[in-house]
Amino acid sequence: MMDFIMIPAIFGILTVGFYKLFELFVCKKERLAIIEKMGEKFTPDMLENKINLPSVGNASFSALKFGCLFVGLGLGLLVAYLICVTTIDGYVVRNADWNWEVKQTISVIYGACVLLFGGAGLLTSFLIELKISKK
């Protein structure tokens, strides 16, 4: 039933994985080049205004983003199920005489609800981040 999302999800995961792997090696070479360029003249005050390291006070909102995203996706699946149960005859007890259009309608309902509520979850996490960062 969720076959429509598997190919884009796997492609996205592989793309991000390859990007992060290449970024890891490129950043390592850049750091080594900076260390070689500085040589023996390194003093701790050289890093004062040159490199901005993240401070401990900056909170990472990745857990909030993923939490809101997964809550939105779960809510989208639940709403899609409820829509299908209430509008399509024989949805709970699988009807053998479903035609192609009914199956496609079910796929569209699930896809639309998952994307809509997932986006709403990300929007919610963004608004929460703004509210927290203003304080």
For 28, what's the count of Cα atoms within 13 Å in the CB-facing half-sphere? 6
Helix (H/G/I), strand (E/B), else coil: 38: helix
Write down the pLDDT at residue 102: 82
Mean pLDDT in order along the chain per 10 residues (135 residues) = 78 90 82 76 62 50 87 92 87 74 87 92 90 85
**Cα torsion 132, 133, 134, 135: sign:** positive
Burial group, residue 135, by CB count within 10 angstroms (0-12, 13-18, 19+): exposed
Whether pTM exceeds 0.85:
no
